[in-house]
Chains A and B, each alone.
Chain A
Amino acid sequence: MDNFTVGVVVFPGSNCDRDVSWALEGCLDIRTKYLWHESSDLSDVDAIVLPGGFSYGDYLRCGAIARFSPLINALDEFVKSGKRVLGICNGFQILTESGFLPGALVANKNLNFICDDVELDIVSSKGGWFNNVDEKQTIKLPIAHGEGRYYCDSDTLKKLVDNELIALRYKNNPNGSSFDIAGITNEKGNVLGLMPHPERACDKTIGGTDGLFTLKSLILK
């Protein structure tokens, strides 16, 4: 695993890229490389994180402009090859806008920007992103978003439930998300998008370590 490298994508307006890199390098000793959004060469990296922030100022819709970057265009082949992609917050919004994950993220029901720690039920072990092989578990992660209300139509929701694609559900739904959804995977399980920030829960001194497992699981094959 010495050479395993996680690419951390940097868009204009990303602001969690350094947090992700700090958590991977400093807490988990996993090598990272920043990938500028105009790069389409993903040959040096073994997994990719789309970090939180406000790519392109959230113009038009969150994640809508980022979708057209050269890097996101190159992501299709990367995902098809089975390599792992983690989209956190704005990264999750980009993954839905670009069609890697179904549904969309819209303004919170109460219109507030919510910055809080939330309890989450892990409801699927697909992709091995969470430490819940034996039973349902609850973790606590920070959220920080104004547009984190997951929305999908009833047919899509049924598909998500039937195929065990719902990874995380809020215990106390903070934003009005359909079915309390906080994170989902694609059918293969190698793409995870979630609104909570695992990179902000990787050290006891800043409030918890429940995010470590998800970041560490980037190195799974």
Chain B
Amino acid sequence: MDQFAVKVFVRLRPSVLDPAGEATKSASIKLGAEGIKSLRIGKIIEVKIEGNGENEVREKIDLLCDRLFANTVIEDYEYSLEKL
């Protein structure tokens, strides 16, 4: 069995308003940061997972992302995978 470290990035789809991102953008400007054109907040899910090779692990992660980690009505996801 191989072990992999997976980082899943979940973010709101571009068409979905992100009020928390807007509020953070507003605070960033108040802090004096210049040039911020947009700011959106997502989440990272870190998973350590075992499997027989990368393909099998990708299948498991695809299922998890599609069914649980992200709600694809409002969110997109992508992930990176590193063999440990």
Residues of A in contact with B (beta carbons under 8 Å apart): 60-61, 64, 68, 96-97, 102-104, 106-111, 149, 151-153, 176
CB contact list, B33-84 vs A, under 8 A? 68-69, 71, 73-74
Q: Which residues of A contact B74 (CB under 8 A)?
A: 104, 106, 151
Let me know if A60 and B16 touch, CB within 8 A: no
Q: Which residue of A lies closest to B69 (CB)?
A: A60
Chain B contact residue count (CB 8 A cutoff): 12
Q: Which residues of B contact A104 (CB under 8 A)?
A: 71, 73-74
Q: Which residues of B contact A111 (CB under 8 A)?
A: 19-20, 23
Provide the bound-state CA to CA distance between A152 and B15, in Å: 10
Let me know if B73 and A109 touch, CB within 8 A: no
Provide the bound-state CA to CA distance between A64 and B12, in Å: 15
Provide the bound-state CA to CA distance between A111 and B73, in Å: 20
Q: Looking at chain A's contact residues, is the secondary structure mostly helix, strand, loop, or mixed?
A: loop
Within 8 Å by CB of A176, from B12, B17, B20, B68, lies: B17
Let me know if A110 and B19 touch, CB within 8 A: yes
Once A151-B74, A152-B73 are accepted as A-B contacts, the answer to whether A108 and B68 lie under 8 Å apart by CB is: no
Within 8 Å by CB of A61, from B15, B17, B20, B71, lies: B71
Q: Which residues of A contact B17 (CB under 8 A)?
A: 109, 149, 176
Which of B16, B23, B69 has the most chain A CB atoms closer than 10 A to its own CB?
Answer: B16
Q: Which residues of A contact B23 (CB under 8 A)?
A: 111
Let me know if A103 and B73 touch, CB within 8 A: yes
Q: Which residue of B lies closest to A97 (CB)?
A: B71
Once A60-B68, A64-B68, A151-B73 are accepted as A-B contacts, the answer to whether A107 and B15 lie under 8 Å apart by CB is: no
